[in-house]
Amino acid sequence: MKSLSKKAFLYTLIITVFSIILLDVFFYVNTKDFLADEVKTELNKQIKLARKIIDINAFNERDYKKLKYYSDEIRRLTGSRTTLIAKDGTVLADSELDSLDLKRTENHFKRPEVKEAMEKGIGFSERHSATIEKNLFYYAENLYEGKRISGFIRFAVFSANLDSRLEFLTNMLIIIDIFVIVIVFGFLIIWQKKVKKQRESLITEISLRSDQPDFIDIPSQKYAEYDKIASGVNSIGKNLFNLKERYKQSFTDLLGLFNSLHEGVAAFDKNGRLLFFNKPFSHIFNTENAVEGKSFFYDLIHFPPLINDIHKFLKSNLFVTNRTKFSGSRYIEYQISQFNLEDMQAGFIITVEDVTNLQNLEIIRQDFVANVSHEFKTPLTSIRGYAETLLSDSVNDEVMQKKFLEKIEKQTRKLENIVTDLLQLTRIENREVEELTEIDPVSTLKEIADDFSFRCKAKKIDFTTDFLVNSGEVKILANPQLLQTLVSNLLANAINYNSEKGGVIFKCSANNKYFIAEVADTGIGIPKDEKQRILERFYRVDSSRGIYPEGSGLGLSIVKNITELFRGKIELESESGKGSRFIVYIPLV
C-alpha cells in the first residue's frame, strides 16, 4: 500500500524544484532583456553619430565608393561592424567586405532587423554566428530623405559582455537553487518525522480501544488534522452505544416505506409459508387475517391463475409474470421471482399491482389505432380505385380523367388534413407548445371574426358577431395561435355543417372569473345520445358524414384539449336538426 506521507514529501519537493526553475527562468529572461536594452541604447547613440557622417545623396546615386568610405569611417569611430543597405534590401557597403565580396552578398530585405526597421523605424535581432560560434546583435534604423526612406544603416556587435554577465547570473542562480533545495529537503525530513510520530501515536490509541467494551475518548492531538480524526473516532464510539435504538427506528421507517409502496409485495419460504407482506398486498387479496410465519399462500390467495403460476414456479424456479382480469372490471399484473439468503434459495416473492388504469389506456390506444386505420383506409381505397382505373387505360375521355384526378386530389387533401390534425393534437396533448403568456383575447379573436365573415358570405350564411368586451379590458393565460385554432375549429364546423342561408353567431363576453367565447349555428345539430362522445377523437355524427365528408373527426377533440391546456371548460347545447351552441370558458388572469 502506498504511503501518503512519502507522496506528500515527493510532491512538495517536486513543487519546490519546479517553482525554483520558474523563478530562475523569470530572472534570466528579464535580466537578458535589460542587458539587451542597454546594447540597443548604446547602438542608438552610435547611429546618431553615424547619421552626421552619411550624405543621403550617396544612397540615391548608389555611389559605392563614397558609401564604402562612410562604412569604414563609422566602423573606425564606433568599433561596430557597419552595413549600409538600400531600401530594396541591396547591400551597398559593408565595413568588413570589399567590393568583390559585396557583390556575392545576398539581399538583406528579409532580415528580421531590416523588416522591423521598415515597419517601426528601428529593428533589433540576435542571431548565432556559425563562423565564430558566438551571438551577434544586429541593430538597424531607417535613413530618410525628407519623409521618404532612402535606405538602412545596420550595426553588428558581439554580445561578449552580455554573455559573460548572463553566465555569471546563471552560476549564481545554480548556487542559490542548490542551497534552497538542501534547506527545503532538510525541513521536509524533520517535518515528516514529527508527523509520523504523531500519526503512530493516534493509531496506537485507536487500536487500544478497538477491543474494549466501553469506549474512552481519545485525548486531544497536537496537530489540528489529527485532532479532527480523534474527534471523529470519539463521535463514532459514542454513536455505537445508540446503534440498537437507531436500528429499531430504521426498521420501523423501512416498514413504513414498505407499506407505502404502490405495489403489493409478499415473501414466502420455499415451502410456501408466509414470511412478510405489506398493506397493498393485503388490500388486493384481503389477507388481514394472515399470520407471518404460519399462514401458507393457498390459505391467503384465492385467485386460481396466480395459484397455478405459483405451482409452476415451484417446479421450475423460472421467473413468472402475468397481466390478467381480476374481478369485475379490475386488472392486476403480478410477478413471481425467487430470493436468496447467503447465496441459497430462501423462497419466492410475489409482487402485484392494480393495473386497471393502464389496461384502460391500452384499450384506448387500441381503439385509437383502429380509428386511425379506418379513417386512412377509406380515402386510400378511393385513391387506389381511381388510380387503377386511370392506369388500366379504360378511361380515354380527358374530362373523365380530369374528374378522376380531382377526386384523387380531394382524397389526398383529406389524408393531409387528418395527418395535420393528428400532429397538432399530439403536440397539444404532450404539451409540446409554446409557453402560455398573458394575452388580450379580444384583439386576437376579432381578426378571426373578420376572416370567417368572408367565408360565410361565399356560402350564403349569415354571420353575426357580438363582442361585449373591448380590446385590452381582460387578459387570459393562453397561446395566441392555439386560441385562434380553438375558435377557428368551432367556426369552421359551424359553417361546414350548416345549411344554405343558415346563420352563425360568434359572441365574446366576460364575467368575474372567465372570458367566454360562444359559437352558435343553425346546422344539423347533435343527437342527445351522442353529446357525450362528440369531443372524442375521430367521432362524427352519422348525419354529418354526407354534409362534409372531408372532415377528419379531430377538430372538436383539438378544441377540447386546447381548452384543458388553458385550464378552461367547454359546454355544449344542441338538438338534432336545430343547430348547436358551444361555450368555452377560459379563466381570467
- pLDDT tens-place string over residues 174-230: 888 888 888 887 887 887 777 777 777 777 767 766 666 666 677 776 666 667 777
In the prediction, which pLDDT does 506 show?
Answer: 92
Mean pLDDT of the chain: 78
Q: Which residue has the cell 565595413?
A: 95
Mean pLDDT, range 451-469, rounded to an integer: 86
Q: Tell me the pLDDT band of 10, cut-offs 50, 70 and 90.
A: confident
CA distances from 14 to 20, 101, 185, 188, 191 (A): 10, 55, 11, 12, 16
Residue type, 274: L
Residue 238 has pLDDT above 80, yes or no: no
Residue type, 545: R
Residue 451 has pLDDT above 60, yes or no: yes
Long-range pairs of 317-323 with CB within 8 A, sequence gap ≥ 24: 317/345, 323/355, 323/359
Q: Are 468 and 505 in contact (CB under 8 A)?
A: no
DSSP annotation of 529 reads G
- Which of left, alpha, beta for 79 (phi over 0: left; psi -120 to 50: alpha)? left
Percent of the chain with pLDDT over 90: 6
CATH class of 359-425: mainly alpha
In the prediction, which pLDDT does 546 show?
Answer: 42
In the prediction, which pLDDT does 372 show?
Answer: 60
> CA angle at residue 7 from 5 to 8, to 5 degrees?
65
In the prediction, which pLDDT does 514 show?
Answer: 94
Least confident of 59-73, 333-347, 486-500: 333-347
Cα atoms found within 13 Å of the Cα of residue 564, Cβ hemisphere only: 12
Most confident range, picked from 39-43, 97-101, 202-206, 489-493: 489-493
Q: Are 226 and 204 in contact (CB under 8 A)?
A: no
Residue 65 has pLDDT above 50, yes or no: yes
Span 346-391, pLDDT tens digits:
788 888 888 877 776 666 565 555 556 555 666 677 677 667 667 7
Question: What span, in angstroms and rounded, lies between the C-alpha atoms of 70 and 567?
Answer: 98
Packing angle between helix 160-209 and helix 4-53, nearest 10 degrees?
160
What is the phi/psi pair of residue 151, to 5°?
A: 175, -165
Q: Tell me the pLDDT band of 544, cut-offs 50, 70 and 90.
A: very low
> CA angle at residue 31 from 28 to 35, to 5 degrees?
135
In the prediction, which pLDDT does 547 show?
Answer: 47
What is the phi/psi pair of residue 186, to 5°?
A: -65, -45
Least confident of 87-91, 101-105, 308-312, 313-317: 101-105
Residue 262 has pLDDT above 80, yes or no: no
- Written as one string, the DSSP assignment of 70-113 is HHHHHHHHH-SEEEEEETTS-EEEETT--HHHHHHPPP-TTSHH
User: Looking at the DSSP assignment, which residues form a beta bridge with residue 571?
Assistant: 583
- Which of left, alpha, beta for 6 (phi over 0: left; psi -120 to 50: alpha)? alpha
Residue 468 has pLDDT above 70, yes or no: yes
Question: What span, in angstroms and rounded, lies between the C-alpha atoms of 365 and 371?
Answer: 10
Q: Tell me the pLDDT band of 171, cut-offs 50, 70 and 90.
A: confident
Q: Is residue 180 packed enough to be buried (19+ CB in 10 Å), middle (13-18) or exposed (0-12)? A: middle
CATH code for the domain defined by 435-587: 3.30.565.10
Residue 17 has pLDDT above 50, yes or no: yes
Residue 516 has pLDDT above 90, yes or no: yes
Q: Which residue has the cell 386530389?
A: 409
Annotated domain spans of the chain: 247-354, 359-425, 435-587
Task: Please tell me which residue, 538 or 568, carries the higher pLDDT value.
Answer: 568
Q: Are 456 and 463 in contact (CB under 8 A)?
A: yes
Span 100-157, pLDDT tens digits:
878 788 888 888 888 888 888 888 888 775 544 667 788 898 888 878 888 888 888 7
Which overall architecture, per CATH, does domain 247-354 show? 2-Layer Sandwich (3.30)
CA distances from 216 to 201, 211, 219, 221, 238 (A): 16, 11, 9, 15, 9
Q: Are 444 and 580 in contact (CB under 8 A)?
A: no
Span 429-448, pLDDT tens digits:
666 667 889 999 998 888 88
Question: CA nearest 123: which of 105, 111, 108, 107?
Answer: 111
Residue type, 244: K
Q: Tell me the pLDDT band of 59, cut-offs 50, 70 and 90.
A: confident
Cα 264 to chain centroid distance, Å, stands at: 38
In the prediction, which pLDDT does 386 show?
Answer: 66
Same fold, 247-354 and 359-425: no
